[in-house]
Amino acid sequence: MSVLIHRVSLYDSGWTKREQPQVSHDSAYVTHQPVAAYSFQLSTKTSSWDRKPTSHAGSVAVCRVRPQPLPPATVAAGERWMQLSVMDRSVPNPFGNSDLTKYWNQRRRLFSRFDHGVQLDDEGWFSVTPEQIADHVASRLYQLSEARPMVVLDAFCGCGGNAIAFAKLPNVTVLAVDVDRAKLRRAAHNAAIYGIPPHKLAFVECNVLFILEHCYRQGDFVLDQPIATPELATKMMAAMPPPVATEIVEGFSVGGIDVLPRRVDAVFMDPPWGGVDYSVFGKNGYDLHRNMKIRRPLVAAPPDAPSAGDGLDDFFDSFQAQTRSKSERKAQFNSNVDDANCVNGAELVAIAAAATAQHIVIYDLPKNVNRTSLGNAALAAGYRGNCKLEEHFLNGRLKTVTAYMGSDWSNLVSDIADTSTTGTATP
């Protein structure tokens, strides 16, 4: 398995000259190993109701490939990328929480139409993908789909930034899933601001792990099919979410599993990483197997139940917890999550890959994700050959990284055999 690291430079404001891509010769990211063609091998031993990564053999190579050049004739010296100023400190942060101020100041970077009435909750402010990056990730999905009709499941949709970007694409419909109906209502409101047609985007209140594990197998809806054994039937019924009401918000359907389509072609995932302390693991230190834990809540709150809050007390407390040492922060990371009732970040890849028709999985990850742990997760899920990890630099600063699995990226390293004068591979 080869993890191909690909830098992409994006801009949403400011004056710039055309960048000259810089080739990295970092020995940690250079390999002489050939990059195999992509393939996928779904385990026949993994049922729809018990999906775990299978044992795998093989090593993981990490290779940095040439940065993507800027589009020709798009950037000239002194040309402005966008007339809209995305940074605005002229209006004070209207929220009581001062930790949101830096996000408020760049609200138009998160949503260019923010002033039209975009709605965010506290979690949405720091977790939504900047619009320029969300649109770029969506364009990658469009390339993978080869313009064919496609249904993409946004597994942790939040207030809808990525779901809206996908829904802008022609021939793409979106299934946006979240456990919080209040977030789904905000996402529907925001989608209406962007003029998304209601038939292109539906919202489902459910634990997405139930949907991926029990509702789809290789893209087909299987919840209504016979279950192989009584044991599996018992397990599935124990995980069945309670029924929730369907409502129409700004023309969009917001409901439960009865809203699910008959087919899913791709999955986009931007799961919770465990809070702000993910950075304590250092560069390339966040391990998908050890450090990411996704809860399996079995019972969703009724739509009219009082809100339990945004679940951000620990996140914002961490800004104040300066007395904790780095070792203490590591030891306490995700310590409140029950390991017996969660899925780790590597298992999540296998679950998503097995659920989709084309095994296209797009995975937003912490900037310090361990590249080898990503490769091992891809191998265990059934991917062979390669996957791509894009580093998204926005106005010259690394903002997000996204893994793309389900296509052959070996063309990115067609010149991997070239060498520099020092004998180091030059991607």
Q: In whole angstroms, give the CA distance from residue 165 to residue 133.
A: 9
Would you state the pLDDT for residue 300?
41
Query: 209 pLDDT band (50/70/90 cuts)?
Result: very high
Q: With DSSP H G I counted as helix, E B as strand and the rest as coil, what are the percentages for the chain, rounded to 5? A: 30, 20, 50
Q: What is the CATH number of the domain that holds 263?
A: 3.40.50.150
Q: What are phi and psi of 211, to 5 degrees?
A: -65, -45
Q: At which residue do the structure tokens 């990490």 appear? A: 62
What would the pLDDT profile of 136-163 be if each residue is shown by its tens digit?
Answer: 999 999 888 887 899 999 999 999 999 9
User: Among 91-95, 298-302, 312-316, whose mean pLDDT is lowest?
Assistant: 312-316
- Size of the chain in residues: 427
Give residue 278's pLDDT: 78
Query: 280 with 326: CB under 8 angstroms?
Result: yes
Q: Which amino acid, 116?
A: H
Number of alpha helices (DSSP H) and beta strands (DSSP E) in the chain: 13, 17
Determine, yes or no, domain membership for 196: yes
The mean pLDDT value of the chain amounts to 80
Asked if residue 12 is part of any domain, the answer here is: yes
> In the block, which residue shows the tokens 């993910």?
278
Tell me the two tokens of residue 102: 């830096």
Say what the pTM is.
0.84
Q: Tens digits of per-residue pLDDT, 383-398?
A: 999 999 999 998 888 9
Q: Which residue has the higher pLDDT, 296 or 192?
A: 192
Question: What does the pLDDT read at residue 50?
Answer: 52
Return the residue matching tokens 């929480």.
97
Per-residue model confidence as pLDDT tens digits over 297-310: 654 444 454 443 33
Q: Which of the two residues, 345 and 78, has the higher pLDDT score?
A: 345
- Stronger pLDDT, 410 or 381, i.e. the higher one: 381
Q: How much is the pLDDT for 229?
A: 84
More confident residue, 323 or 238: 238
* Position 420 in a domain: no
Which pLDDT value is given to residue 317?
Answer: 41
Question: What is the residue range of 125's domain?
Answer: 2-413
pLDDT at 206 over 50: yes
pLDDT of 335 reads: 64
pLDDT at residue 87 in the model: 80
In a domain, 426, yes or no: no
Domain count, the chain: 1
The arithmetic mean of pLDDT across residues 63-68, rounded, is 80
pLDDT at 33: 62
Asked which of 27-31, 102-106, 363-367 is least confident by mean pLDDT, the reply is 27-31
